[in-house]
Amino acid sequence: MEVWLVDINEQIIEVYQQPTTARYQLMQKFANGQTLSIKAFPNVNITVNEMFGR
């Protein structure tokens, strides 16, 4: 399972992976210019800039 938190004010994306009963084991932050890949679609990549329409 993977959850994305899109922070419009800060224009960052936090990706949470590997959930346990108490928390997610892995969290990554992505900012302007960085590229994310979607775990369910490994051949799909998107940039933070695209997410915010830049």
Task: For the chain, state the CA radius of gyration.
Answer: 12
- For the chain, the structural domain boundaries read 2-51
At residue 10, φ and ψ (nearest 5 deg) are -85, -15
Burial 5-39 (b: 16+ CB within 10 A, else e): eeeeeeebbebbeeeeeeeeeeeeebeeeeebeee
pTM for this predicted structure: 0.83
- How do residues 1-53 score in pLDDT, each as one tens digit? 889 999 999 999 999 999 999 999 999 999 999 999 888 888 999 999 999 99
Cα–Cα distances in angstroms (integers) from residue 20 to residues 2, 37, 43, 52, in the given order: 12, 22, 26, 30
